[in-house]
Amino acid sequence: STLPHLPEPVDDELHSATGVVLTAVGRNRAGVLAEVTGCLARHGVNVHNVSQKMVEDFFHLVLVIEVPPGVA
């Protein structure tokens, strides 16, 4: 069985923001979430959704973000 073709959303603005899923995994330490989101904020990135989980000593972070034009 195949899925029907779904059209891509039409982008009315030539230089609109880009939606991205960002993941980060590493050893947990105090301030890691603040460091990641602070860096994103300094670049004008908007966070739409946050999911985080601890697995043993590791911090797992998934963010849905909106990256403004010109930010690489």
pLDDT in tens, 2-18: 666 766 656 555 456 67
Tokens standing for 39? 């860096």
DSSP at 54: E
Query: Measured between alpha carbons, how far is 19 from 56 in angstroms, rounded to an integer?
Result: 30
Tokens standing for 21? 């899923």
Whole-prediction pTM? 0.68
- Summarised one tens digit per residue, pLDDT across range 45-65 is 999 999 999 999 999 999 999
| Nearest partner of 28 among 63, 51, 59, judged by Cα | 59
